[in-house]
């Protein structure tokens, strides 16, 4: 009986500690409807959402004993901080869960170390920075969106003028609609841009890069990854060292398209009715043209010019040891 009593007491004590650690938060402060909100936290999960009230509200739970949230109005801008006790080793506790509701037109900046961060339903500019946390930005109608993390993933679904998304070792994905320009980069992660965008700059060192739904100019590069681009009215530069390059779509009238790889295969697929002059060069690979009605001039085994229609767009495709192919889509 005594053993059972001790076990029961220990269980109650543990529940009490757990309840203390999971301290609930509910704080709010009046806010300028077009002001700025900053959120600072180390670990856990942070979610920022827009609403129609002229108020910043912070709800959720803290992750450890002695933690607290400060919500301050600093000259018309609201700053939300998670404050940790001295010597607590902040950053090791992942139990923190906070939702920050802000006026929908506020500009928002979120800074974390290892906390995952989400920003949703906002119409102001959005910036999210993390060291190792994952970042997700979705359902926003913003002018500019920026996201960067060192080892986490970045996922942006945008309705914006401009998007810049970067990770060192994580994957980067940008979707939605971007009226002006997308910049998306990773060092060792996969980069995927599916947003309907006017202009794209995308790259990875060792990861593959895919750009879909393009409707303008793009600059895409990788060192050891493949490059794949689909869209309409394409123009720009596409490069990789040891990966393959695949371009699928029509070209903008009078545009220039440059495709360069060292040891990968280059494949260009264009629809019926295309108009382009394509110059192929390879040192040790094969040149293949399977586009009906194309006029082929082959000055040597290593070089070929293919004229399609009126030859309005200009394409150069160069590879050292890979094949080059022109196909009709």
Phi, psi at 262, each rounded to 5°: -90, -55
What does the chain come to in residues? 329
* Any domain includes 189: no
| Residue 165 belongs to some domain of the structure | no
Q: CA-to-CA distance for 309 and 301, rounded, in angstroms?
A: 24
Q: By three-state DSSP, how is residue 10 classified?
A: helix
Domain with 68 in it: 21-115
Domain assignment present for 65: yes
User: Is 173 within the bounds of a domain?
Assistant: no
Gap between the Cα atoms of 125 and 273, Å rounded: 42
Q: Any idea what DSSP says for residue 90?
A: T
Tokens linked to 62: 């803290």
For 2-37, the pLDDT digits (tens) are 333 333 333 434 444 444 446 999 999 999 999 999
227 in any annotated domain: no
Sorted by sequence, the CB contacts under 8 Å of residue 7 that are 6+ apart come out as: none
Write out residues in the chain with pLDDT < 50, as ranges.
1-21, 90-91
Q: Per the structure, how many domains does the chain have?
A: 1
Tokens 């059972």 — which residue? 4
Residues 6+ apart with CB under 8 A from 149: 129, 130, 131, 132, 133, 134, 135, 166, 167, 168, 170
In sequence order, what are the beta bridge partners of 234? 251
In a domain, residue 70? The reply is: yes
* Cα(265)–Cα(14) distance, integer angstroms: 62
pLDDT score of 225: 95
pLDDT for position 181? 96
Q: Taking a C-beta distance cutoff of 8 angstroms, is the pair 325, 266 a contact?
A: yes
pTM exceeds 0.85 for this model: yes
């Amino acid at each position: 009986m005594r053993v059972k009593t001790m076990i029961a007491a220990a269980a109650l004590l543990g529940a009490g500690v757990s309840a203390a650690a999971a301290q609930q938060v509910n704080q709010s402060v009046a806010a300028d409807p077009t002001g700025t909100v900053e959120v600072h936290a180390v670990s856990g999960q942070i979610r920022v959402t827009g609403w129609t009230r002229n108020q910043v509200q912070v709800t959720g739970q803290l992750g450890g004993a002695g933690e607290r949230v400060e919500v301050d109005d600093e000259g018309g801008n609201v700053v939300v901080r998670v404050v940790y006790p001295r010597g607590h080793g902040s950053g090791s506790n992942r139990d923190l869960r906070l939702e920050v509701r802000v006026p929908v037109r506020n500009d928002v900046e979120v800074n974390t170390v290892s906390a995952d961060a989400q920003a949703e339903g906002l119409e102001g500019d959005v910036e999210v920075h993390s060291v190792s946390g994952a970042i997700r930005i979705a359902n926003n109608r913003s002018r500019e969106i920026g996201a960067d993390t060192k080892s986490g993933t970045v996922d942006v679904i945008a309705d914006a003028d401009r998007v810049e998304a970067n990770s060192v070792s994580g994957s980067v994905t940008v979707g939605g609609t971007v009226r002006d320009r997308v910049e998306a980069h990773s060092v060792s992660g996969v980069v995927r841009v599916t947003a309907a965008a006017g202009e794209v700059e995308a790259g990875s060192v060792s990861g593959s890069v895919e750009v879909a739904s393009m409707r303008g100019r793009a600059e895409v590069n990788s060192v050891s990854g493949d490059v794949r681009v689909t869209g309409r009215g394409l123009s720009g530069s596409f490069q990789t060292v040891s990966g393959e390059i695949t371009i699928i779509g029509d070209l903008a009238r009078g545009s220039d398209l440059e495709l360069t790889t060292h040891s990968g295969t280059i494949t260009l697929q264009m629809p019926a009715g295309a108009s382009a002059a394509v110059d192929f060069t390879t040192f040790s690979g094969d040149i293949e043209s399977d586009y009906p009605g194309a006029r082929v001039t082959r000055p040597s085994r290593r070089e070929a010019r293919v004229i399609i229609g009126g030859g309005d767009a200009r394409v150069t495709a160069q590879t050292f040891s890979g094949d080059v192919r022109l196909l009709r889509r």
